[in-house]
Amino acid sequence: MKDFISKLLNGVSIAIVCALIPNALLGEILKLIIPYVPALQHLLDATVVVMSMLPILVGILVGMQFKLTPIQTASVGIATMVGSGVVSKTAEGLFTISGIGVVINAGLTAALAVLFVQLIGERLREYSILLIPMLTVTIPGMIGYSILPYVKSGAGLVGEGVAYLTNLQPVVMGALIAVVFGIIILSPISTVGVATVIMLSGIGSGAANLGIVAVGMGLCFASFKANSLGTALAHVLGSPKIQMRNFFMKPTIAFPMLITAAILGALAGILNVQGTPYSAGFGLSGLVGPLNYINLADGGWTASNIAVMLSMFLILPFFLNLFFIYLFKNKLKMIKDDDYKLDFE
């Protein structure tokens, strides 16, 4: 079971990197350039479409983790697409693709589809190409689709919990929300989805961003010796979700980052670091978090606001993470470099 979950989470993590990084790296930059070069709108649209391909990538890459045949892998991919909720039907009967779907349900559907095709094995022989795709969509795919509303409701409970925190004193609220979003970014739950459902804004949104910044930057530093430079940077430029498997296997690897998140979140309440419901789940990715803070801060691009932005989104996360990583690794002996190893081969 441990090996099964490990392979499942590894496949989901790789899919998230492939689907989300193009928009994370190019999205905000393209939005600045498009008014002067309108033709680049097509490239921006393409990165958004790629994000919506996340569910099918989850299925395919999970299938590859289990060394399934090409037919089985493709079948897991299409079943996962069906169960993810990324496709919806309008009142006019048109099918639309939007967002990234419900990642938790995509993972559950992929797991069911893998178990299903492994159960069938080679029993269908020469009829495999005819029957496996159809049966995989019909059984695990539709099971995933049928449990989608319940999984959505479960994820909604997380949003209700975060909404409750917004009623607390600003410093306490900021610390708790930063930690909660630091944990969510390491889970299959969408940080953007939680933030937009409850319309998280103001200091709550700013704290959520800083929680993600703390986790992303900390994991970048902690994983530097165990992975390549590009993989380490993907935690910041892309998504910390690539450490999802390692976090579930050993949650202590995130302790230094979550303590950093709590400190930054508390400071967000003191320094009035704000954000919008649509920026809360991004952190440093595409510079969405810091740019939204500047846009909402009184006076905009003033020297004091720039100083706060650089301190909160770069300098403090850098030094706090280095300190707590050193403490947990060298003094407390609770983590080690290999805990952050990612296998993308």
For residue 114, give the nearest of 87, 144, 155, 147 by alpha carbon.
144
Interval 76-98 mean pLDDT: 87
Per-residue model confidence as pLDDT tens digits over 140-162: 999 999 999 888 887 777 778 88
End-to-end CA distance of the chain: 22
Res 240 pLDDT > 60: yes
Structure tokens at 190: 């969408």
Per-residue model confidence as pLDDT tens digits over 327-340: 999 999 999 999 99
Half-sphere exposure at residue 177, Cβ-oriented, CA atoms within 13 angstroms? 40
Rg, Å, the chain Cα set:
21
Res 83 pLDDT > 70: yes
What is the CB neighbour count within 10 angstroms for residue 22? Answer: 18
Rounded to whole angstroms, the Cα distance separating 46 from 169 reads 42
Which of 93-97, 250-254, 302-306, 318-322 shows the lowest mean pLDDT across its residues? Answer: 93-97
- Residue 345: the pLDDT is 56
Are 105 and 150 in contact, with CB atoms under 8 Å apart? no
Between 157 and 12, the higher pLDDT residue: 12
Interval 250-262 mean pLDDT: 95
Task: Write the DSSP symbol of residue 341.
Answer: -
At 293, which amino acid appears? Y
Q: Would you kindly state where each structural domain of the chain is located, as residue ranges?
A: 2-154, 166-340
Mean pLDDT of the chain: 88
Q: How confident is the model at residue 241 (pLDDT cuts 50, 70, 90)?
A: confident
Rounded to whole angstroms, the Cα distance separating 42 from 89 reads 25
Are 84 and 27 in contact, with CB atoms under 8 Å apart? no
Rounded to whole angstroms, the Cα distance separating 169 from 269 reads 9
At 36, which amino acid appears? Y
